A and B are shown apart, each in its own frame.
Chain A
């Protein structure tokens, strides 16, 4: 299987290289505004802008065509003017969409997602209508606008230097986006997380909002040629969302987003040209040689997102599951220690506790107790005695700290919340999370008590302590 994959890969030519490069550059240019859209909870605005850009494109084409017909534009300059007018049309429609939905929300009091939905579906319907109506005057293929034709663009539109025009335009877009976001990063960050604070600092948050919308619209239209309008949403949101799962800082999120965008372009082309023929030849369709690269870029971005969702080091489902399980295991371990300590306290001489009694004392499943016991044995904190288990010296130390935490906490609650009755239950939970520093602080605050509210002895900090302290036992409850 790997040999077959390698064979497919070896067929890659410079065209494939340019396809991947252009896709990567387009995806990276889209990922930058996408990070801010995700953070500002305006991802569906990206969806709306990409739908709404269609009438802008059609109107721009019509304008250029009309100007040419009226003789204002020569044939050669039409191509250049077309691109400029496309961008202008995109910005105009982007602003209309953003302003329109906001007006509907504020003045019309329409619910926010419904306002967005009304505006962009109407604009998109208008665009579809225009495309069909003026199809003879203007050569827009609605399919192409919708899902792009990356391969065609690379092959047929090459500048004299051998570089595809799409790569240049997307590269320029990436440069422009990088410059704008580097310049306005601090202002955009503040206004994204706290617009009111931004306004009080003198940063005009609404202007920045419209700047972001305009940049998104321009980026979308530039990337349309490569991947079409609907898949541009994938490149806008998915790498940014993947980065959101992997890091907490906005600047790092943007870098990670760029990386993932480039990676999804590479992976997408590999899926389209290598995985697709392999899969479909096995299914019995050998004539399927490849699939659409732009579609596969979206799929690759989705795969990367899913792997980040499951395997992400901090927020991944797997890592959260493992962290929770490890915590449960630690709590089980400490519960066993506490049980053995208290049994040793009650008994006068060494009295081993049998497994059955341990199981009875803890409200836990058999497996977790068994695992806890094995862990304790491995650490040499417990040892097997004749008919049960005993704490070793190290185990006794660890258990002592735990029980000290427990009883100090009970004293703390009893001192500060006298009406509270469930001291033990609270301490059962909190004892696992009190570390040495907190123990010292509690002891200081409470005046180093030696008896807890239930009358049991609070274990000293280190074993020799009990003899060197003052003689009368002190409890929180007896304080005036």
Chain B
């Protein structure tokens, strides 16, 4: 009985809310309170473990380094991912990360050939990865533009063929006297725990540069993402902006290779942006929320894998992101499932109350809205 009353009150609450759905201040008030509630619950859960607390207070040097690197990566991935989501090209990050593999292998072989022993130097490998990613991107565009192959098939072709080249080169490297590719296979699965301070400097610098460029070119990226023809007509250099955005994606994928590995780096771009979409319709808010979610999932992932050593860091980061996505899907203020259902039931409630004809209610009061047309 009490439950039914509560449901009825909930419906009326939703109906009252629905009536002033366009009131922006009401929207901000509502989103502020639910955001804080969510943050509070999460914080209580996380601080339950003493070890987790130690990690969060940056007590352990190693974990501090890893935290810094991955959180910066998560934030910048979230921000760049928003633009990719808006352009409906979310899976291009998968192509870039898979195409980076032959670049890494070739960089290793070239470095070994010229300066034996220097094969595993990180800047060289990352440069190779970037070149490989760019090559993959260009091949995808070329196939999509010059043949009748559609974009999705072009992506799958480039992804698999480049990955095949990379795997073949890896097996060749394994047979070389100098190469044991143990260090190189970390690029596939990620080994965040083995991040060093120098790596974090590289990652931090690249991520910061990506964020700055996104901030400076936010409006340009947005207009190209929303309406390419319009921006071309307005005189924006659409091709160069496209190239710029792709370069940012390549940068994110390359710096993410080390922490989450190439198979999962695409999730850093997709999941925070897709989650942020449920909370807001405005671009600036979406960028901020996406960065926050990316950073938060990196934080949570590293913390959990620091507490439980057998748990892979990259996978945990992605799963934390998925958990936030699930929560956003259900509870997101703007397009989440539960608020939408409540708004719909509120609208039905209001419609019934104000006398619209509804087959289920019938027409109890004969004077309202006229009688039935047919019996």
CB 8 Å contact bits of B76-104 with A (1 = contact, 0 = none): 00000000010011110010001000000
Give Cα distance in the complex from A116 to B91, angstroms.
9
Q: Which residue from A38, A104, A117, A289 sits with its C-beta under 8 Å from B266? A: A117
Of A80-88, A189-197, A291-299, A350-358, which binds chain B?
A291-299
Q: Which residue from B155, B172, B314, B329 sits with its C-beta under 8 Å from A280? A: B172
CB neighbours of B274 from chain A (8 A): 110-111, 114-115, 117-118
CB neighbours of A230 from chain B (8 A): 98, 160, 163, 167
Q: Which residue from A116, A122, A234, A292 sits with its C-beta under 8 Å from B319? A: A122
Give Cα distance in the complex from A317 to B143, angstroms.
11
| Pair B157/A241 contact, Cβ less than 8 Å | yes
CB neighbours of B149 from chain A (8 A): 241, 244-245
| Pair B152/A121 contact, Cβ less than 8 Å | no
Give Cα distance in the complex from A51 to B188, angstroms.
13
CB neighbours of B111 from chain A (8 A): none
Residue B360 is within 8 A (CB to CB) of chain A in the complex: no
Give Cα distance in the complex from A292 to B171, angstroms.
6
| Pair A122/B88 contact, Cβ less than 8 Å | no
Q: Which residue from B150, B152, B189, B277 sits with its C-beta under 8 Å from A128? A: B189
Residue B212 is within 8 A (CB to CB) of chain A in the complex: no
CB 8 Å contact bits of B145-180 with A (1 = contact, 0 = none): 011111011011101110111111111100111000
CB 8 Å contact bits of B179-209 with A (1 = contact, 0 = none): 0000001001100000000000000000000
| Pair B315/A129 contact, Cβ less than 8 Å | yes
| Pair A292/B167 contact, Cβ less than 8 Å | yes
| Pair B310/A132 contact, Cβ less than 8 Å | yes
CB neighbours of A38 from chain B (8 A): 150, 153
Give Cα distance in the complex from A256 to B299, angstroms.
50
Of A140-148, A175-183, A334-342, A462-470, which binds chain B?
A140-148
List residues of A (253-305) whose CB comes within 8 Å of B's CBs: 272, 276, 280, 283-285, 287-289, 291-292, 294-299, 301-302, 305
| Pair B90/A288 contact, Cβ less than 8 Å | no
CB neighbours of B278 from chain A (8 A): 108
CB 8 Å contact bits of B317-328 with A (1 = contact, 0 = none): 011001001000
| Pair B164/A124 contact, Cβ less than 8 Å | no
Residue A231 is within 8 A (CB to CB) of chain B in the complex: yes
Q: Which residue from B155, B310, B311, B318 sits with its C-beta under 8 Å from A122? A: B318
CB neighbours of A280 from chain B (8 A): 172
CB 8 Å contact bits of A217-252 with B (1 = contact, 0 = none): 000000000000011011011100100110000000
| Pair A117/B90 contact, Cβ less than 8 Å | yes
CB neighbours of B15 from chain A (8 A): none
Given A128-B189, A245-B149 in contact, is the A111-B88 Cβ separation under 8 Å?
Answer: yes
- Name which of B156, B188, B316 has the most chain A CB atoms within 10 A of its CB: B156
Give Cα distance in the complex from A114 to B315, angstroms.
18
- Name which of B169, B170, B175, B266 has the most chain A CB atoms within 10 A of its CB: B175
Residue A389 is within 8 A (CB to CB) of chain B in the complex: no
Residue A431 is within 8 A (CB to CB) of chain B in the complex: no
A272 to B, closest residue via Cβ: B168
Give Cα distance in the complex from A152 to B241, angstroms.
48
Q: Which residue from B85, B90, B91, B148 sits with its C-beta under 8 Å from A244? A: B148
| Pair B94/A47 contact, Cβ less than 8 Å | yes
| Pair B156/A44 contact, Cβ less than 8 Å | yes
Give Cα distance in the complex from A289 to B161, angstroms.
22
| Pair B311/A289 contact, Cβ less than 8 Å | no
Residue B273 is within 8 A (CB to CB) of chain A in the complex: yes
A285 to B, closest residue via Cβ: B176
Q: Report the minimal beta-carbon distance from B347 to chain A, rounded to whole angstroms.
A: 18
Give Cα distance in the complex from A288 to B172, angstroms.
6
Q: Which residue from B160, B164, B185 sits with its C-beta under 8 Å from A296? A: B164
Q: Report the minimal beta-carbon distance from A280 to chain B, rounded to whole angstroms.
A: 7
Q: Which residue from B155, B271, B310 sits with its C-beta under 8 Å from A118? A: B271
| Pair A121/B163 contact, Cβ less than 8 Å | no
Residue A33 is within 8 A (CB to CB) of chain B in the complex: no
Q: Which residue from B161, B172, B316, B337 sits with its C-beta under 8 Å from A291? A: B172
| Pair A305/B312 contact, Cβ less than 8 Å | no
Give Cα distance in the complex from A107 to B315, angstroms.
27
CB neighbours of B350 from chain A (8 A): none
Q: Which residue from B160, B189, B273, B314 sits with its C-beta under 8 Å from A234? A: B160
CB neighbours of B273 from chain A (8 A): 114
Residue B250 is within 8 A (CB to CB) of chain A in the complex: no
Give Cα distance in the complex from A126 to B170, angstroms.
26
| Pair A110/B271 contact, Cβ less than 8 Å | no
| Pair A41/B91 contact, Cβ less than 8 Å | no
| Pair A125/B315 contact, Cβ less than 8 Å | yes
Given A133-B311, A245-B147, A288-B172 in contact, is the A43-B322 Cβ separation under 8 Å?
Answer: no
Residue B335 is within 8 A (CB to CB) of chain A in the complex: yes
Given A132-B312, A272-B168, A296-B168 in contact, is the A121-B337 Cβ separation under 8 Å?
Answer: no
Q: Report the minimal beta-carbon distance from B252 to chain A, rounded to whole angstroms.
A: 14
| Pair B160/A237 contact, Cβ less than 8 Å | yes
List residues of A (70-127) whose CB comes within 8 Å of B's CBs: 104, 107-118, 121-122, 124-126
Q: Report the minimal beta-carbon distance from B301 to chain A, rounded to whole angstroms.
A: 10
Residue A42 is within 8 A (CB to CB) of chain B in the complex: yes
Q: Report the minimal beta-carbon distance from A367 to chain B, rounded to whole angstroms.
A: 25
| Pair A114/B90 contact, Cβ less than 8 Å | yes
CB neighbours of A115 from chain B (8 A): 274
CB neighbours of A112 from chain B (8 A): 88
Q: Which residue from A126, A288, A292, A295 sits with its C-beta under 8 Å from B315? A: A126
Q: Which residue from A111, A234, A289 sits with its C-beta under 8 Å from B164? A: A234
Q: Report the minimal beta-carbon distance from A127 to chain B, rounded to whole angstroms.
A: 8
Residue A315 is within 8 A (CB to CB) of chain B in the complex: yes
| Pair B271/A295 contact, Cβ less than 8 Å | no
- Name which of B149, B153, B175, B314 has the most chain A CB atoms within 10 A of its CB: B153
Give Cα distance in the complex from A122 to B274, angstroms.
13
Residue A395 is within 8 A (CB to CB) of chain B in the complex: no
| Pair B90/A237 contact, Cβ less than 8 Å | no
Q: Which residue from A114, A284, A294, A302 sits with its C-beta under 8 Å from B167? A: A294
Given A110-B277, A122-B267, A122-B318 in contact, is the A295-B311 Cβ separation under 8 Å?
Answer: no
A-side interface residues toward B, CB under 8 Å? 38, 41-44, 46-47, 51, 104, 107-118, 121-122, 124-126, 128-129, 132-133, 142-143, 146-147, 230-231, 233-234, 236-238, 241, 244-245, 272, 276, 280, 283-285, 287-289, 291-292, 294-299, 301-302, 305, 309, 315, 317
18 more A-B residue pairs beyond the given contacts A126-B315, A147-B167, A284-B113, with a C-beta to C-beta distance below 8 A: A38-B150, A41-B150, A43-B155, A46-B156, A114-B90, A121-B270, A128-B312, A237-B156, A237-B157, A241-B153, A244-B153, A276-B172, A298-B160, A298-B161, A301-B164, A302-B157, A305-B161, A315-B148
A-B contact pairs, 8 of them (CB 8 A): A108-B278, A114-B88, A128-B314, A230-B98, A231-B167, A237-B160, A238-B160, A315-B148
List of 3 A-B pairs having minimum Cβ-Cβ separation, nearest first: A298-B164, A302-B161, A295-B168
